[in-house]
Amino acid sequence: MNIVSFRTIRKFYERHPDCETALKVWYKKAITANWKSPSEVKRDYATASIIGDNRVVFNIKGNRFRLVVKFNYKYGWAWVRFIGTHSEYDKVNVETI
């Protein structure tokens, strides 16, 4: 998958260094993945939540953080739409971000 944008991930783990390793592991797995559907993402990330409009919520670092990614499975693109703590996640509408 082509991930847009690693810079968003990097900026987040610079503020929250305790999740750096977990985010880098997710990123390395995602860039080598060839997911063609939400079910393929779920196969690799059983705890991920499929929320519609090709968005997936990933639990990061033992579910301490949330990562929302919007996918275009046909073209192999993934956009990081949100990353934050649970309290920050609770304040956004993940179906529209």
Residue 57 is part of which domain span? Answer: 2-89
In a domain, 24, yes or no: yes
pLDDT of residue 59: 95
In a domain, 95, yes or no: no
First to last CA, the chain: 20
Q: 1: burial class by Cβ within 10 Å (0-12, 13-18, 19+)?
A: buried
Domain count, the chain: 1
pTM of the predicted model as reported, rounded to 2 decimal places:
0.93
In a domain, 43, yes or no: yes
CB 20 within 8 A of CB 33: no
In a domain, 94, yes or no: no
In a domain, 85, yes or no: yes
Average pLDDT for consecutive 10-residue bins of the chain (97 residues)?
92 95 96 96 96 94 94 96 92 88
In a domain, 96, yes or no: no
In a domain, 44, yes or no: yes
pLDDT of residue 31: 96
pLDDT of residue 62: 87
Q: Are strands 2-4 and 77-85 parallel, antiparallel or unpaired?
A: parallel
In the chain, alpha helices (H):
6-15, 20-32, 38-44, 86-89
